[in-house]
Copies of this chain bind each other. A is one copy, B any other.
Amino acid sequence: LAICWDKKTLTIKFDESFPEAGALIGFGQRAIRTESESRTEDSLQTAMANEQARFHIFLGSKVLVRKDDAPTTTFLCNEAQAFDVQFEEAVLLGADDTGPRLAVPSSFDVESLVPPYTTYDMRALLYSSAISDIEASTVAQAASLLHWQRMNRYCGLCGQKTTSRIGGYRRECKNCNTSQFPRTDPVVIMLAIRGDYCLLGRSAHFPPGWFSTLAGFVEPGETIEAAVRRETYEESGIELRRVRYHTSQPWPFPHSLMIGAFGEAISEEIRFDANELEDCRWFSRDDVRKMIDDNHEAGFKCPPTKAIAHSLIRKWVQASDD
C-alpha cells in the first residue's frame, strides 16, 4: 500500500502555544493545588476543621448544583449539612486561595431537591456551561475519586473491608496489609488521516447525525501508539503507520484519561465492527469543515468544542488553512 502522509497532513503544527490544547478543552483546567506529595493522615482532618473548607456534594454519580444567579457546586459546611452528606467518607481534593476543597457523597433523595438546588451528571456539566470550566475540572477530579472509593470498599486480594487513608488517595487493607491507589484508565482516541480525508464513525447511542473519532482502552503491555493502531484496525479495518500525539483530557466516566492522537492511514477499505459502530466513513476536509461549523447539508455533525474529539478534528481541518 502506498504511504500517503502527504504534505498537507505534515503541516499539522504541534503546539508551540501555551497553554496547550488540552488545557482549553473540557475538564482540562488546573483549578486547585492537589499537593499530592504532602498528603498525610492529618491532611483531611485539618481541612475538615477549616471553616473556609468547601464541599462538592455527589448524589450517586451526579453533582449538586445551586443554580441561582451565580451557580456553584461548592458549599460551605453549613449549607452542605442540609443534604445528608456523609462527611465520614469525605475525600480531600486539594486547596485554592480560598481554602481546602473536598468531595463528599450524599444519601439525599434527588427527588426531594427543590430550586435553586438541582443535580448535573458529568456530561451535562461539561456541555451546559452551568459552571465555569475551572470548577467543572475540579468536579471531574471529585467524581473520579469518589467512584474509585465506592468501588474499592473491599480488598480485591482478600475480600476484607478497606479504609480510606491520606485524605482518600489510598485505601488500605489491614487484614492482608495491602494498599490500593486511585485508578485512571488510559484511553486512546484518534483521528486517522489519509490525504484530504479523515475517518469518523458513529455509535448507535450518538445523537442523530453525529460522527466522531474512534477510541478504546489501552491494554496491559501496550504502548499508546500500539493501542492507537490496534483499536483503529479492530473497529474500522483501517491500518495505521505513524502515530502522532496531540493532547490529553481527563474524562470522568468514571475515571479515564483520553489520549488524543493522529494516525497515518495506509489502507482505505473500511470493514467496521458492527458491535461497536453503526457507521464508519471517510469524510473530506470540506465536509468536516462544514460539520464543525454545524452547517453540513446532510445534517452531519461533530462532537462539541469541549470534547477532545472536536480538538483533534478541528486541528486537522485548520492545518490546511495555515
A residues with CB within 8 A of B: 10, 14-16, 18, 20, 22-23, 27-28, 30, 34-37, 137-138, 140-142, 144-145, 148, 150-162, 169, 178, 181-186, 216-226, 229-230, 234-235, 241-245, 247-250, 252, 255, 257, 259, 273, 275-276
Contacts and interface: CB of A to CB of B under 8 A. Distances in A.
A220 B255 contact: yes
Of the listed residues A22, A23, A161, A224, the one surrounded by the most CB atoms of chain B closer than 10 A to its CB is A224
Given A184-B218, A220-B255, A245-B245, A157 B148 contact: no
Contacts of A226: 23, 28, 30
Contacts of A241: 18
A186 B186 contact: yes
- Count of this chain's copies in the oligomeric assembly: 2
B22 A225 contact: yes
A255 to B, nearest CB: 5
7 contacts: A34-B222, A145-B221, A150-B157, A151-B178, A183-B185, A184-B185, A184-B217
Of the listed residues A221, A226, A230, A252, the one surrounded by the most CB atoms of chain B closer than 10 A to its CB is A221
B157 A156 contact: no
Q: Pick the 8 closest A-B CB pairs, nearest first.
A: A141-B221, A154-B159, A144-B220, A245-B245, A152-B156, A224-B248, A37-B234, A22-B223
Nearest to A152: B156
Nearest to A31: B221
Contact of A37 (B137, B257, B276): B276
Contacts of A161: 159
A224 B22 contact: yes
A223 B153 contact: no
